[in-house]
Amino acid sequence: MEHGKYRFIVGFLIVPLTIYTVFVIWPFVQSIYYSFTDWTGLSPDFEMVGFDNYIKLFSDDVFWKSLQHSLLFLLLLPLVTISLALFFAFMINVGGRRRKNSAVSGVRGSSFYKIVYFFPQVLSIAIVALLFRFAYNPRSGSLNAALDAVGLSALKTAWLGNPETALWAVMAVMVWCTVGFFVVLFSAAMTSIPRDYYEAALLDGADRITTFFRITLPLLWDTVQSGWIYMGILALGAEAFAVVQIMTTGPGGPAYATTVLPLYVYLKAFRDGQAAYATTIGVALLVVTLAFAAVVLKLGRRERLEY
């Protein structure tokens, strides 16, 4: 057994570890180091400037705006998406009451819903963002045309051009494309809940709402919690970047009405030539991400239910 064990271990680890270190770990460490310099990214020269970048951060209005938007994403997106998904998943799996001679089952057409709801999840976020950019188009977009058709022309607006609506329009797209994923995720978790629980609850006279809050949700808590973190990371990371960068002009929207932290990092580094300052914003983003995960894990700690 022991023969050649270490040679084997080293042989298997060396290539992946090298790639991972060069492309992920090393840049990551570097970026924290760069946040204490005045590097522009355009020339190789830079000097250490201590906490200057972090001080600059405090008086940067656009940074605060981005932070505010990212926090709004972080709080609102998981809440809306997960609530909707829990409702749909519950209906699809437990909502039906008179079918197939079984205590609990999905409503009619539940497998159809599961397939269709998942559609947006397999599409690229870039494609989804483009599609909605056209749908929101004030002149030829389908949304304004649909409002016209149902007699709500008064509500028409330049969805992405209006600072009042731009951020909400972007958030709606993120909800649109993630709900289906959570429906399927929660459905998978719901099918593992023993049916007897539901039968017992129904005999005790529980209605659907009670059943949901007393049985389904507590037993699903672990999944909801990991879903919450997953959604939070999407809301702070690549998905939010893609949606805002593609959909809103500028990019970042009218008067920075839609900038989020990852987009602001990108703009500072690759548009404004302030690479060091960009990494400082990135560190702020890292702090927010870690704080979010810590809070969710802390709040979510409950007695684990075995079944």
Closest distance to another protein from the beta carbon of 42 (Å): 10
- Considering the rule CB under 8 A, would residue 107 count as an interface residue with another protein? yes
**CA dist., res. 261 & res. 91, Å (int):** 36
Q: Which stretch binds another protein (CB under 8 A): 46-54, 60-68, 89-97, 161-169?
A: 89-97
The reply to whether omega before 44 is within 30° of 0 (cis) is no
Compare residues 19 and 255 and give the one whose CB is closer to another protein.
Answer: 19
> Among residues 215, 236, 244, 257, which is the contact residue for another protein, using CB under 8 A?
236
> How many CA atoms lie within 13 Å of 36's alpha carbon, on the beta-carbon side?
7
Encoded one letter per residue, x for contact with another protein by CB under 8 A and - for no contact, window 264-303 reads -xx--xx----x--xx--xx-xx--xx--x----------
- Considering the rule CB under 8 A, would residue 227 count as an interface residue with another protein? yes
- Considering the rule CB under 8 A, would residue 117 count as an interface residue with another protein? yes
Closest distance to another protein from the beta carbon of 84 (Å): 8
- Considering the rule CB under 8 A, would residue 45 count as an interface residue with another protein? no
Our CA dihedral for 181, 70, 236, 180, rounded to 10 degrees, sits at: 0
Q: Which stretch binds another protein (CB under 8 A): 57-65, 81-89, 162-170, 213-221?
A: 81-89
Which residues, 128 to 167, sit near another protein by CB under 8 A? 130-135, 139-142, 145-146, 149
Closest distance to another protein from the beta carbon of 167 (Å): 19
| Locus of tokens 């672990």 | 222
Burial class of residue 118 (count of CB atoms within 10 Å of its CB; 0-12, 13-18, 19+)? middle
- Considering the rule CB under 8 A, would residue 219 count as an interface residue with another protein? no
**CA dist., res. 252 & res. 70, Å (int):** 12
Per-position DSSP letters for 207-263, written without gaps between them: -HHHHIIIIIHHHHHHHHHHHHHHHHHHHHSHHHHHHHHHHSSTTT-GGGSS--HHH
Q: CB–CB of 223/74 below 8 Å?
A: no
- Considering the rule CB under 8 A, would residue 253 count as an interface residue with another protein? no
